């Protein structure tokens, strides 16, 4: 399903995503939160992932090293920023479901719309920059 189809489908209920507009853009202005949104949107409806797995995913993207040649300290540093900064606002917005006790993270409402948006605007911004 592409962005157009999602917007068409979800906008029949009035609002494509259940988050106030200023908050949406505040959430999306941070690259790590964009990475989390894209990663969690890949999960199956009942599937969960862990903070550690997401921290590892972020480090592999930021270091450009998918083979995991980064240090435990790098991973821990990202883990801490997830706990302190990023998971709570994403969870409060309802985009992800996060259980602070078990550490499990699941898909929330509207997350696919934003993951598609990130992918779409990333391509457009890259194209604009290439042409600029």
Partner 1 sequence: MNSSNPFTEPHKTSEALSDLFGLMSVERRRKVVWMMWSKSSSTTRELAKEIAAQEQDVAPDKVAHDDYHILYNNLSDHHLPALHDSGVIEYQGHTVRPGPHLQTCVVMLGVTRPIVWIFETD
Helix (H) or strand (E) holding 5: helix 3-11
Q: Is 122 in the site for partner 1 (CB under 8 A)?
A: yes
Q: Is 64 in the site for partner 1 (CB under 8 A)?
A: yes
Question: Could you tell me the sign of the dihedral formed by the alpha carbons of 4, 91, 34, 43, in that order?
Answer: negative
60 within 8 A of 42, measured Cβ to Cβ: no
Helix (H, G, I), strand (E, B) or coil at 50: strand
State both tokens at 50.
């862990």
Q: Is 69 in the site for partner 1 (CB under 8 A)?
A: no
Helix (H, G, I), strand (E, B) or coil at 85: helix
Euclidean distance between the first and the last CA atom of the chain, given in angstroms as a whole number: 30
Q: Which stretch binds partner 1 (CB under 8 A): 47-55, 79-87, 89-97, 123-131?
A: 123-131
Question: Toward partner 1, which CB reaches closer, 102 or 129?
Answer: 129
Which parts of 4-43 interact with partner 1 (CB under 8 A)?
4, 7-8, 11, 15-17, 21-26, 28-31, 34-35, 38-39, 42
Q: Which stretches of the chain bind partner 1, using CB under 8 A?
A: 3-4, 7-8, 11, 15-17, 21-26, 28-31, 34-35, 38-39, 42, 61, 64, 66, 113-115, 117-122, 124-126, 128-129, 131-132
């Amino acid at each position: 399903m592409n962005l157009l189809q999602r917007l068409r489908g979800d906008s029949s209920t009035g609002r494509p995503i259940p988050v106030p507009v200023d908050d949406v853009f505040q959430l999306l202005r941070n690259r790590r939160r964009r990475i989390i949104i894209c990663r969690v949107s890949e999960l199956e409806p009942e599937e969960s992932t862990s903070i550690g797995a997401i921290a590892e995913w972020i480090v592999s993207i930021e270091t450009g090293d998918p083979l995991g040649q980064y240090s435990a300290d790098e991973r821990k540093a990202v883990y801490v920023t997830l706990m302190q900064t990023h998971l709570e606002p994403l969870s409060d917005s309802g985009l992800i479901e996060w259980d602070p006790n078990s550490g499990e993270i699941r898909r929330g409402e509207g997350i696919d719309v934003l993951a598609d948006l990130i992918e779409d605007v990333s391509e457009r911004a890259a194209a604009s920059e290439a042409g600029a």
